[in-house]
Structure 1
């Protein structure tokens, strides 16, 4: 029974990601060839995140891992491992963009609906089906973001769309923190400082790209 309970979060996450890819494939205006390319790129980046979450779990519990590896590997990862995985994955993605292996704007335009739908399905499963683990506040926030994206993704310039989604998500998370003790993303507790850092880095990257294009 304990083993099954450990597999549930993995199964829910996998189902949510599949739903995100399915939504992207059915709604994207890209050709089948480009859809396949984008899906392969997104799967590669998600695999990196999962791998680095495990690496982060080991690094943040290195002393215990040396003494008893199974004691670390047998338990779910914590937020520190998640933060580290996002940081390392972000750096690798940045390097790929710099080297021309990934076109940043089309990649993000494809990745955003996948993550939004995956987050929606993940929260929905925990709230409605399993009736545990999810929070109604974050579910409402993701639902609003998904509706906004669906309405505006063909109406707004891509970078403005990215900025607005980022602003609404960040402000929404801080509002949730004012009315509830914690906020989780895919089961990981998200600290306010992480939201600030995530928001600041992404805004700087988006604005710098816009300034460079403007000078060119």
Structure 2
């Protein structure tokens, strides 16, 4: 029973992203070859995140891991491991973009609906199907973001769309923090400083984009 309870989050995570990728494949107007390329890239990045979460769990519990490795591997990952995984995965993604292995804008354009649908399915499964975990506030936020995306994704430039969605997500999470004690993303509690980091980065990108337009 304990083993099943530990496998459920992994299964829900995998099922959610499988649904997101399937939704992208069905709804995207890209060619089959381009869909295949994007899906392979997304799966590769997701595998990296999962691997780095496990590495982060070991690093944040290194002393216990040396004493009892199985105890750490069986222990659920915490938010610190999640932050570390996102940081390392982001760095690797940045390096791949710089080396020309990944075209950033088309990749993000393909990944946005996948992450939104996966987030929606993850919260939906926990709230409706399993009836445990998840929060109605974050589920509503993701639902609104998903609706917003499909209303404006053909009307805005790709970069501006990506920035706008991240800023709206950040503001939405801050609003949730004002009415509930914590916010979780894929089961990990997200600290306010992490949201501030996302928000600040996106504001800087928007200002730089406007500044470049002004110079041109």
TM over 0.5: yes
User: Match of 1:55?
Assistant: 55
**Counterpart Cα distance in 2 of 1:209 and 1:38:** 26
Range with greater deviation from structure 2 (137-146 or 157-166): 157-166
**Counterpart Cα distance in 2 of 1:96 and 1:199:** 24
User: Match of 2:35?
Assistant: 35
- Return closer, same or farther for 1:97/1:213 CA change in 2, 3 Å cut-off: farther
**Counterpart Cα distance in 2 of 1:125 and 1:169:** 20
Check the 8 A contact 1:56/1:82 in 2, yes or no.
yes
**Counterpart Cα distance in 2 of 1:192 and 1:71:** 29
- Return closer, same or farther for 1:52/1:213 CA change in 2, 3 Å cut-off: farther
User: Match of 1:168?
Assistant: 168
| SS state at 1:111 partner | helix
- Deviations for 1:62-119, whole angstroms, at most 9, x for unmatched residues? 1111111111001110000000000000011011111111111111010111000000
Q: CA deviation at 1:198?
A: 2.3
Q: Give the TM-score taking structure 1 as reference length.
A: 0.95
Check the 8 A contact 1:126/1:132 in 2, yes or no.
yes
How much is the aligned-residue C-alpha RMSD, in angstroms?
1.7
- Return closer, same or farther for 1:124/1:71 CA change in 2, 3 Å cut-off: same
**Counterpart Cα distance in 1 of 2:139 and 2:26:** 23
Range with greater deviation from structure 2 (137-146 or 191-200): 191-200
Check the 8 A contact 2:137/2:176 in 1, yes or no.
yes
- Structure 2 residue 147 is matched with structure 1 residue 147: yes
User: Match of 2:107?
Assistant: 107
| SS state at 2:36 partner | helix
Q: CA deviation at 1:182?
A: 0.4
User: Match of 1:14?
Assistant: 14
Check the 8 A contact 1:159/1:206 in 2, yes or no.
no
- Return closer, same or farther for 1:59/1:205 CA change in 2, 3 Å cut-off: farther
Check the 8 A contact 1:176/1:183 in 2, yes or no.
yes
Write the mapping of 1:1-216 to structure 2, written as runs, cut at 5 A.
1-204=1-204
Q: CA deviation at 1:27?
A: 1.0
**Counterpart Cα distance in 2 of 1:16 and 1:103:** 25
Q: Give the TM-score taking structure 2 as reference length.
A: 0.95
Check the 8 A contact 2:116/2:146 in 1, yes or no.
yes
